[in-house]
Amino acid sequence: MGGPATTSVPPDTFPDGHRPHDSDPKSPRWPACAPEPSQSMPLLERHEAQSLKITMEIEAGKEKSGKMQAQTGKSWSRRLYGAVSCITGDMKACGDWLKDKPLVFQFIDWVLRGISQVMFVSNPLSGLIMFAGFLVQSPWIALTCALGVIASTITALLLSQDRSAIAAGLYGYNGVLVGMLMAVFSAKGNYYWWLLLPVSLMSMTCPLFTSALASVFSKWDLPVFTLPFNLALTMYVAATGYYNHFFPAVLIQPATSVPNITWSEVDVRLLLQSIPVGVGQVYGCDNPWTGGLVMVALFLSSPLIFLHAVVGSALGVPAALSLATPFSDIYAGLWNYNSCLSCIAIGGMFYALTWQTFLLAVTCALFTAYAGGTLANMLSVFGVPSGTWPFCLSSLVFLLLTTNNDAIYRLPLSKVTYPEANRAFYLTQKGKQPKSSCDV
């Protein structure tokens, strides 16, 4: 029949008949893999490699954290800059936001800008701070100020004047001065309620003077400054005078004797105090706290206006001392306020700020101070105050200056905003000018 029976053994079975366990390392089913390099390293080298890896991870985390902190810091800086820019300068964003709001809110903005425009500032927050200073001086003065600017602004609206100029306060600031200075020069004192009638009427003449003068001055691209106020105040005081029965003005007359001046009695503290007093005297206020609040309002809107206001007011002191002016007039800031306004006007407002125009502003401030003494003596013969005639006439003379120096650049009137923006515009225009082939 057949040969002896044989049993075939599977190749993966040992001769004794059992199968190897699948997990046996020697099993052919065990996957072959290369040993991990780190396990083949000596223990010391492996520890150093792990430490280096951890250090690199920590440094990467720190770098990422630093970048996140830098981005957060930049974000906060942008937010802070945005918040500050909303309340400084001319607060253009506020004016734009109010354009579609009810008229009453826009009118409040126009009134506050009119209050600050006396100092070449179109900032409602600055105007509010200044009005607070007027309340410190006298609530009656603040009332006549409010009445003057409201009457003047409403008149400009009724005359259909340029709405953007009204919104910037350019038709209100002369009314501010008319209202306040009529109260200052009233011999009836505070709370003479009948005075509110001529205050309203004379303030209403300011838009008329402004519009008429602007049509003439536009030929030379010149501002009207406070000439409407000077015309209205001079007309009122000259028409009434000291002996008027209803609206008597304070007595103004020329000096009739040589003042007794003892130089050893000069008070340096009061001389220094005359600087903020002189700034406040722009509004007819002799309270140093009022002047201080006006200076705060100026700094909020434009640090450059603040700087020139202080410099201009300070320059009035040596000018007055050089002419042996009575100390009481110097302490009261009567020699400071015109030079303060002139220094602002020339130093960065209507001229782009450079070191040349700064020197020009200082010169104009001194010129204005001496012109103030001259006009005060001349107008006292007629019994009328000098007001801001010295500032207007002196500043107009310096604005009509012609020169070949490119650094003395007078801005177009339509581009005038505030000194910082004016200088930026000047630098932009300077960069656009083509260079000569001879320039290196």
Q: What Å distances lie between residue 2 and 5, 8, 239, CA to CA?
A: 8, 16, 157
Give me 303's structure tokens: 């640090």
Q: What Å distances lie between residue 145 and 117, 185, 193, 229, 258, CA to CA?
A: 13, 14, 14, 13, 36
pLDDT score recorded for residue 317: 97
Q: What Å distances lie between residue 27 and 17, 18, 22, 33, 35, CA to CA?
A: 15, 13, 6, 14, 18
pLDDT score recorded for residue 150: 98
Give me 340's structure tokens: 């303060």
Give me 341's structure tokens: 């306004």
For residue 339, which amino acid is it? S
Backbone angles phi, psi at 84, to 5 degrees: -65, -40
Closest C-alpha among 208, 253, 254 to residue 229: 208
Residues with Cβ < 8 Å from 320, sequence gap 6 or more? 329, 330, 335, 369, 373
Give me 114's structure tokens: 């009119």
For the chain, the straight-line distance linking the first and the last C-alpha, in angstroms and rounded, comes to: 122
**H/E stretch holding 190:** none
Q: How is the chain split among helix, strand and coil, in percent rounded to 5? A: 65, 0, 30
Rounded Cα–Cα distance for residues 420 and 8 (Å): 104
Rounded Cα–Cα distance for residues 387 and 338 (Å): 9
Rounded Cα–Cα distance for residues 224 and 219 (Å): 12
If one counts every other C-beta atom within 10 angstroms of the C-beta of residue 430, the result is 12
pLDDT digits (tens, 9 = 90+) for 270-296: 999 999 999 999 999 999 999 999 999
pLDDT in tens, the chain (440 residues): 444 444 454 545 544 555 554 444 444 444 444 555 545 555 555 555 666 666 666 666 666 666 666 666 666 666 666 667 678 888 888 888 988 899 999 999 999 999 999 999 999 999 999 999 999 999 999 999 999 999 999 999 999 999 999 999 999 999 999 999 999 999 999 999 999 999 999 999 999 999 999 999 999 999 999 999 999 999 999 999 999 999 999 999 998 888 888 888 899 999 999 999 999 999 999 999 999 999 999 999 999 999 999 999 999 999 999 999 999 999 999 999 999 999 999 999 999 999 999 999 999 999 999 999 999 999 999 999 999 999 999 999 999 999 999 999 999 999 999 999 999 999 998 887 655 444 43
Alpha-helical segments (H) within 138-260: 139-158, 163-167, 173-184, 196-217, 227-240
Rounded Cα–Cα distance for residues 58 and 140 (Å): 69
